[in-house]
Amino acid sequence: MRVDAGLFVDGVPGALRAAADCLAAAAGERTGPYSGASPERLAKVAAGIDPFPEEGAGLDAALAGLGRLSLRHAVDPAHPSCAAHLHCQPLAAAVAADALAGAANQSLDSWDQGPVATHLEQRLVAGLAARVGWDPAVAGGVVTSGGTQSNLMGLLLARDATAGRSGRDVAADGLGPDAGRYRIVCSELAHFSVARSATLLGLGSRAVQPLGVDGDRRLRPEELDRALDRMDAAGQVPMALVATAGTTDFGSIDPLPALAGRARERGLWLHVDAAWGGGLLFSDRHRDLLAGIEAADSVAVDFHKLLWQPAGCGAFLVRDQGLLAPLEVTVPTSTPTRWPARRTAGRCRIWSAGRWPPPAASPPSRRCSASRRSAGGPSVSWSTAPLRWPSRPRPRSTPSPAWP
C-alpha cells in the first residue's frame, strides 16, 4: 500500500486547521440550541449517505458535507437555552488536547502500548483518590468511558467480593447457585445503569431493590434498614449499596454518612455514583456536600459532566487498589493488563484544564508515589489543586507545564 505524505500524523496540523475552519463556519450558521429538524427529516438525510463509499471524498469535501451537517444539526450544549441535559460544553483546551491524544493514539491495555500514558493515568487516579479523602498510595482506579462503565465495574467488584466470602471465584468459575439471592440496594432515583449492570452481571435487573426517597429526593436510611431486614428474613444476600451523589434529574445527594454507617455495620460494599456530583470534589465552597464519600469502597466520577470535558471521560476509583484484583488479566505474550483494556489516553485533556505542574505559589503540597505499579517510581510533589471548580478567580497567566 502506498501511503501519501499527509495521510497520517504528518497531515494532522493541516487537518486540524480545516476542522477549525469548519467549526467556525458552522458556528456562524447557528441560531439556537437546535436546528429544529424533525427526526423524519434527519432520518431521510442520513439515509442518503453512503457510510462506506468505494471512493473517499477527501477531507475538505467530507468537512464541507458531513462535517457541516453534523454540526448544523447537533444540539449545542454551549447555548444558554440548552441547560436540561447533563452533558456539558467542553473546554476549548480539552478539545485541543483530545486531538493531541488522538494523534498519539496510545492504548492503555498494556504499558508497552502507552508508556507515559499509563503513568499519567496512575497520577490522575491518585489525585482523584486524594480528593475523595483516600490515601493515594493505597487507592486505585482507571479512566473509563463514563458513569455507566464505572457503575458496572463497581458492581462487578461487589459481586465478586460477595461470592468470594463464600469461597467462590466468579472470575474463574462463573456465578454459583447463590447468585440468585444477591441484591443491590439503591434509591429509586439511582441511574438506570445500576439495573443494566445487574443484568450484564448475570444477576438480573430484579436483583436491584429501589428504595423510596424523602422530600429532598434523597434515599431514606430507615427505608434501607427495613429493606435489609426484609432481605435477611427472606434469605437474600445484599451485596452492594449504591448511593447517588447527584441524581440524574434532580442533583440530590443521598445521605452519605448515614449510608456509610449502615454499609459498615452490615458488611455491604458501598459504591458512590458521583458521575454527576463528582465535580464537587473540586469545589472550594461545596466539597462538604460529599462528606462521607471517603467511606465508599468504590466511586464513579465523570469528567464529561460538570468537569467540562468531551465525552466519554470518566474515572472508576477504589479505596484500595488490591480490590481491583478480579479485573487483572495476565496474558502470556504481554505485560499484565486490567479491564477495561483498549482505552485511549484522554486524560491529557483533563490536565489541560488545570495548572500542571502547579506554580510555585500553590498551597502546601502533599507527597505521593507517582507510579505504584512500576516499583521504585519517583516521588512527586502533588498539588492539592490541579483542577478548580469555577468558584474562585484564577490567575490569568499560568506557567507552561514543563513536561519531562
Residues of this chain that interact with ligand PLP (CB under 6 A) are 86, 146-148, 151, 191, 193, 244, 246-248, 273, 275-276, 302, 314
The minimum distance between CB 274 and ligand PLP, in angstroms, equals: 8
The minimum distance between CB 141 and ligand PLP, in angstroms, equals: 15
The minimum distance between CB 304 and ligand PLP, in angstroms, equals: 6
The minimum distance between CB 312 and ligand PLP, in angstroms, equals: 6
Q: Given the complex with ligand PLP, which of 21 and 214 has the nearer CB atom?
A: 214
Q: Given the complex with ligand PLP, which of 253 and 348 has the nearer CB atom?
A: 253
Residue of minimal Cβ distance to ligand PLP: 146
- Rounded to whole angstroms, how far apart are CA atoms 352 and 307? 12
Range list of H helices, 185-287: 193-200, 221-234, 256-266
From 222, 227, 257, 251, select the one nearest 240 (Cα to Cα). Answer: 227
DSSP state of 336: -
- Rounded to whole angstroms, how far apart are CA atoms 220 and 204? 24
Q: Given the complex with ligand PLP, which of 110 and 197 has the nearer CB atom?
A: 197
- Rounded to whole angstroms, how far apart are CA atoms 167 and 208? 23
Residue 263, Cβ neighbours under 10 Å: how many? 23
Give the three-state DSSP class for 208.
strand
The minimum distance between CB 317 and ligand PLP, in angstroms, equals: 14
Backbone dihedral angles phi then psi of residue 335, each to the nearest 5 degrees: -85, 160
Q: Given the complex with ligand PLP, which of 140 and 147 has the nearer CB atom?
A: 147
Angle (nearest 5°) at CA 268 between 262 and 269? 120
Contact 148, 322 (CB under 8 A): no
Q: Given the complex with ligand PLP, which of 209 and 248 has the nearer CB atom?
A: 248
Q: Given the complex with ligand PLP, which of 110 and 151 has the nearer CB atom?
A: 151
Strands 182-187 and 237-244, bridge-based pairing: parallel
Q: Given the complex with ligand PLP, which of 199 and 398 has the nearer CB atom?
A: 199
What is the side-by-side order of every strand in the sheet holding 237-244?
A: 140-144, 314-318, 298-302, 269-274, 237-244, 182-187, 208-211
The minimum distance between CB 171 and ligand PLP, in angstroms, equals: 24
The minimum distance between CB 311 and ligand PLP, in angstroms, equals: 7
- Rounded to whole angstroms, how far apart are CA atoms 59 and 225? 60
